[in-house]
């Protein structure tokens, strides 16, 4: 059995992952953030680990890149030496600020499991146990891709403005996010 030597994650990467996790929109509860972190680590390590301490250097780099894209934060090497902080967020041009809002909406879609090839709705094969009906769900794949068809379908069918996500203006996105937060709240109450 051949083994390859891979560099392990360093303390700076671990710190960066945890700092970025604190900035992910929608993760206000510590338990929710921890659950999200474990799932994210499991996804990027192909199910090998759930702790940041056990990642390889490359896996940690990929996790950091994904979190930076999601939060709009980046390391100096990626944005010409400028780290965007909360006070600068209001000075962003309309397009970039709208992208932040779109990412927040997509984050809720990720939390609800709106992935391609996976229908997180209840399947027909329900199992009755006494008065309780258990609903079978499909397992999530290791690498997941958001189902943009479903997201756009939701925006056009249930969103106030009845148009695809990318066609919404900055002000319309604020209203759409409020609607999605309600959907996410209902999702949590149903689970």
Tens digit of pLDDT for each residue in 96-140? 788 889 999 999 998 898 888 765 554 444 444 544 555 555 554
Q: For residue 40, what are the contacts with CB-CB under 8 A and spacing of at least 6? A: 63, 66, 67
Q: pTM of this prediction?
A: 0.44
Domain ranges (residues) in the chain: 1-90, 92-122+141-191
- The pLDDT of residue 80 is 35
* Mean pLDDT, residues 6-29: 85
Furthest-apart CA atoms within the chain: distance in Å: 61
Cβ(70)–Cβ(107) below 8 Å: yes
User: Helix (H) and strand (E) counts for the chain?
Assistant: 7, 2
Q: For residue 146, what are the contacts with CB-CB under 8 A and spacing of at least 6? A: 106, 109, 110, 114, 115, 116
pLDDT by residue (tens digit) across 139-173?
544 567 889 999 999 999 999 999 999 899 888 99
Find, among 70, 52, 72, 71, the residue nearest to 61 by Cα. 52
pLDDT by residue (tens digit) across 47-79?
899 899 999 888 888 888 888 888 876 654 433
């Amino acid at each position: 059995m051949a083994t390859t030597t891979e560099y392990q994650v360093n303390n700076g990467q671990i710190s960066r992952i945890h700092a970025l996790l604190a900035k992910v929109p929608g993760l206000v509860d510590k338990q929710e953030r921890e659950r999200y972190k474990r799932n994210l680590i499991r996804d990027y390590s192909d199910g090998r680990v759930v702790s940041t301490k056990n990642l390889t250097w490359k896996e940690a780099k990929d996790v950091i890149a994904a979190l930076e894209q999601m939060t709009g934060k980046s390391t100096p090497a990626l944005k010409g030496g400028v780290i965007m902080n909360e006070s600068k967020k209001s000075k962003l041009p309309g397009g970039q600020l709208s992208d932040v809002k779109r990412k927040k909406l997509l984050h809720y879609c990720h939390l609800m499991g709106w992935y391609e090839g996976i229908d997180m709705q209840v399947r027909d094969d329900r199992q009755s146990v006494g008065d309780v009906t258990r609903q079978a769900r499909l397992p999530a794949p290791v690498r997941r891709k958001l189902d943009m068809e479903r997201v756009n379908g939701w925006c056009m069918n249930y969103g106030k403005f009845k148009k695809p996500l990318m066609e919404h203006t900055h002000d319309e996105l604020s209203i759409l996010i409020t609607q999605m937060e309600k959907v996410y709240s209902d999702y949590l109450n149903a689970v």
